[in-house]
């Protein structure tokens, strides 16, 4: 005779009525029990299909053996003695009751099982923390290794986050997974810019980051993604669109520290490339003012791919890029002098004191410095390098088109190194 026990009710509540679903859930509970009880034997306990059928049909007399009973306690948070008692199935809320005038409610065990089901999670805090640390390490190593060595790792993290989000988590955990997934997509969008991927790829990653950030109200992450989209447009020579993308990001929160990057890296550099001197200078001034108003900013030179606000040194370095496009040599030197004491390993700009700064145009500013320790450069394509190396004093036609057309003349004994 089939009996309806508390165990069979909980199987339905937890979606474990099939042996194929019960077995891995029991295995996970066995691992937790083994760790908590410090008893390695618990991790090796298995339940056969015949045993499962006997338990679920109510044909078991008494309770399972001690090891299995312990594991079931970790699986359902109910003592084994209660699991195999007859279930008290209550009438549906609002339905007919056994006696007129009485009100029926759900059974206490059923209520507990439903609550546990709703707050269950496929992502425990330790796993979420591990993913967060992994993304931080990508940021920390990026300027040394570049997209060639880190894009694959970041794609794996993004895939893991998508898999987790396809499952169930309580709101706080799910919000954190959304934040991390937005970061992973944003990092891949930035790497796609550096690796010269099609702009459609850059934009798709940025859109994913923006959508996820918007869902959890993370405006700063949404602004960061807008800045990366602007960067991608800038490096394809679409300077007016780059300015518009950065402006849209600023409009989300004009006084946010994230607006510094959008102003100086997004708008100022793009406006300088279009020949809009007044607009570029005004935007640089806005960025510097906003930077000065911050009570706390990162020290030194923040990583180009970091989610933190721009440090003063990085803001100045981007202002230099814009000033170079405008041919404003005195301002370049002023900014360089400001950077010197802020950079722990020397100036971002090194110029030979034996050579006057009367060059016909800047050397091509790379998106990142140098090469990786393995000798692999963080690649900047030739076509974009040519766009980044117009004359520092563009002619009228150049100003109208927004593009530089003359490559720089190399100057002996002079090196210029800038990072975005």
Q: Which residue has tokens 């029991």?
A: 26
Residue (of 343, 338, 318, 350) closest to 417 by Cα position: 350
Q: What is the CA radius of gyration of the chain?
A: 30
Tokens of 272: 């300088």
Please check whether the domain covering 125-339 is classified as CATH 1.10.10.60. no
How many Cβ atoms are within 10 Å of 140's Cβ, its own excluded? 13
CB 184 within 8 A of CB 157: yes
Q: Of 103, 121, 120, 109, which Cα lies nearest the Cα of 84? A: 109
For residue 381, the model assigns a pLDDT of 34
pLDDT along the chain (420 residues), means of 10: 78 86 90 89 91 86 87 85 73 45 72 74 90 96 95 96 92 96 98 97 98 97 98 97 98 97 97 96 97 91 92 93 93 86 55 34 37 38 38 36 35 40
Rounded Cα distance, 151 and 139, in Å? 11
Instruction: State the pLDDT at residue 232.
Output: 98
Copy the structure tokens of residue 192.
């796609």
Residue 198 CA to its chain's centroid (Å): 21
Residue 14's pLDDT is: 81
């Amino acid at each position: 005779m089939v009996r309806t026990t508390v165990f069979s009710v909980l199987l339905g509540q937890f979606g474990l009525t099939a042996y194929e679903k019960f077995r891995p859930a029991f295995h996970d509970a066995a691992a937790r029990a083994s760790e908590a009880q410090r008893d390695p034997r618990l991790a090796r306990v298995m339940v056969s299909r015949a045993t499962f059928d006997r338990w679920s049909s109510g044909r078991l007399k008494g309770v399972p053996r001690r090891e299995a009973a312990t594991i079931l306690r970790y699986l359902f948070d109910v003592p084994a003695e209660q699991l195999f008692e007859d279930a008290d199935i209550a009438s549906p809320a609002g339905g007919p009751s056994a006696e007129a005038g009485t009100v029926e409610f759900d059974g206490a065990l059923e209520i507990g099982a439903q609550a546990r089901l709703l707050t269950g999670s496929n992502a425990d805090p330790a796993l979420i923390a591990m993913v967060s640390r992994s993304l931080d390490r990508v940021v920390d190593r990026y300027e040394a290794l570049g997209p060639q060595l880190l894009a694959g790792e970041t794609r794996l993290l993004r895939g893991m986050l998508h898999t987790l989000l396809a499952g169930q988590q309580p709101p706080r955990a799910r919000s954190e997974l959304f934040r991390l997934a937005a970061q992973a997509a944003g990092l891949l969008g930035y790497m796609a810019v550096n690796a010269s991927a099609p702009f459609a790829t850059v934009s798709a990653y940025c859109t994913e980051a923006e959508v996820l950030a918007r869902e959890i109200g993370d405006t700063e992450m949404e602004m960061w993604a807008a800045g990366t989209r602007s960067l991608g447009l800038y490096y394809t020579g679409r300077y007016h669109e780059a300015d518009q993308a950065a402006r849209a990001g600023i409009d989300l929160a004009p006084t946010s520290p994230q607006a510094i990057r959008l102003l100086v890296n997004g708008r100022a550099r793009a406006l300088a490339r279009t020949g809009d001197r007044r607009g570029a200078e005004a935007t640089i001034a806005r960025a510097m003012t906003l930077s000065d108003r911050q009570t706390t900013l990162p020290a030194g030179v923040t990583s180009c791919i970091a989610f933190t606000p721009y440090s003063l040194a990085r803001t100045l370095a981007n202002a230099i890029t814009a000033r170079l496009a405008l041919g404003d040599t005195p301002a370049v030197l002023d900014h360089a002098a400001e950077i010197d004491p802020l950079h722990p390993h020397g100036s971002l700009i090194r110029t030979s004191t034996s050579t006057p700064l009367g060059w016909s145009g800047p050397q091509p500013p790379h998106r990142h410095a140098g090469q990786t320790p393995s000798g692999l450069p963080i690649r900047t394509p030739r076509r974009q390098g040519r766009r980044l190396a117009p004359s520092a004093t563009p002619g009228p036609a150049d100003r109208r088109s927004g593009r530089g057309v003359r490559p720089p003349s190399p100057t002996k004994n002079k090196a210029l190194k800038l990072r975005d």
